[in-house]
């Protein structure tokens, strides 16, 4: 849930989710549509389907118990290297190499003397992180969470609080005079008018209805909410509906649409 979504937005949904589906078996038994509906406004609703798919796999392959080793975790639907490493470390106390955006920034500054890491994770960054994680599993898990917290709370992308950083005396970036980032300009992701926004509005409109929504009504609801008009808006709605159907997030029912049953 917290992939690409701030923890403050995730926490209330996560708590409600665990009250409703406390075990993988509970979630696996639920319909995909109800899972997407419960996902609410967290965004990227495909994550909801992948989470349910992972729960089904846990039930079928591991007797309902989440596996502890990274290889088995990575084999679950929707689970990549980062999530597998984080679960192995923080849920099971295994030694793993957890590399998120915050960890990458701390290592770029403290070890490499750069203001910011590269836009995407590189093999060199992964190798560097692997050399720094302690061998002892308990210390490794503590190290992983400590560096993540350091990046999130102190060594922030903007306005780092170097004066209260425990690595101040050994930070290569500070020793170099805290030079600015010399990489390409980083642009924020556009949102208004994008297919992502329209897809989100379509899913939200279907969440609000228990019954299938006729195509014309769905189009009117979304275009009115987003303030988009004309033939391009109709084409965009059609395109986004088709992509949602392909992704398994929406089901066509005759001339209407609904969340998956």
Q: Read off the pLDDT of residues 6-41 as tens digits, 9 standing for 90 and up.
A: 889 999 999 999 999 999 999 999 999 999 999 998
Binning pLDDT at 50, 70 and 90, where does residue 182 land? confident
Binning pLDDT at 50, 70 and 90, where does residue 177 land? very high
Binning pLDDT at 50, 70 and 90, where does residue 186 land? low
Q: What is the pLDDT of residue 75?
A: 97
Rounded mean pLDDT of the chain? 94
- 92 vs 230 pLDDT, higher one: 92
Separation in Å, CA 232 to CA 193, 194, 236: 11, 12, 6
Q: What is the CATH number of domain 195-258?
A: 1.10.10
Reduce the DSSP state of residue 258 to 3 states and report it.
strand
pLDDT at 88 over 80: yes
Reduce the DSSP state of residue 31 to 3 states and report it.
coil
pLDDT at 188 over 80: no
- When pLDDT is averaged across residues 35-57 and rounded to a whole number, the result is 94
The model carries a pTM of 0.83
CATH 1.10.1670.10 residue spans of the chain: 79-186
Binning pLDDT at 50, 70 and 90, where does residue 255 land? confident
Q: Is the dihedral of CA 77, 80, 83, 89 positive or negative?
A: positive
Give, in words, the CATH class of 7-66: mainly alpha
pLDDT at 5 over 80: yes
- When pLDDT is averaged across residues 53-61 and rounded to a whole number, the result is 98
Separation in Å, CA 224 to CA 67, 200, 201, 212, 234: 46, 14, 10, 19, 12
**79-186: what fold?**
Endonuclease Iii, domain 2 (1.10.1670)
Binning pLDDT at 50, 70 and 90, where does residue 185 land? low
Tally of residues, the chain:
261
CATH 1.10.340.30 residue spans of the chain: 7-66
Binning pLDDT at 50, 70 and 90, where does residue 241 land? very high
């Amino acid at each position: 849930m917290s992939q690409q979504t701030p923890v403050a937005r995730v926490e209330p949904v996560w708590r409600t989710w665990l009250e409703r589906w406390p075990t993988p078996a509970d979630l696996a038994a639920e319909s995909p549509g109800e899972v997407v509906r419960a996902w609410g406004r967290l965004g990227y609703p495909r994550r909801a389907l992948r989470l349910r798919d992972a729960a089904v796999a846990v039930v079928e392959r591991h007797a309902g118990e989440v596996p502890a080793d990274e290889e088995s975790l990575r084999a679950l639907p929707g689970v990549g290297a980062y999530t597998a490493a984080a679960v192995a470390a923080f849920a099971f106390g295994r030694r793993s190499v957890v590399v998120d955006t915050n960890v990458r920034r701390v290592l770029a500054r403290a070890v490499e003397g750069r203001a910011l890491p590269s836009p995407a994770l590189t093999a060199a960054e992964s190798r560097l992180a692997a050399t720094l994680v302690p061998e002892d599993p308990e210390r490794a898990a503590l190290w992983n969470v400590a560096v993540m917290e350091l990046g999130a709370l102190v060594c922030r992308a903007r306005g780092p609080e170097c004066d209260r950083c425990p690595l101040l005396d050994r930070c290569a970036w500070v020793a170099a005079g805290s030079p600015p980032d010399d990489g390409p300009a980083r642009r924020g992701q556009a949102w208004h008018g994008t297919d992502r926004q329209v897809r989100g509005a379509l899913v939200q409109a279907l969440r609000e209805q228990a019954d299938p929504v006729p195509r014309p009504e769905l189009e009117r609801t979304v275009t009115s909410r987003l303030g988009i008009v004309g033939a391009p808006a109709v084409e965009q709605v059609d395109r986004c509906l088709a992509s949602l159907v392909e992704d398994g997030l929406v089901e066509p029912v005759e001339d209407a649409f609904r969340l998956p049953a």
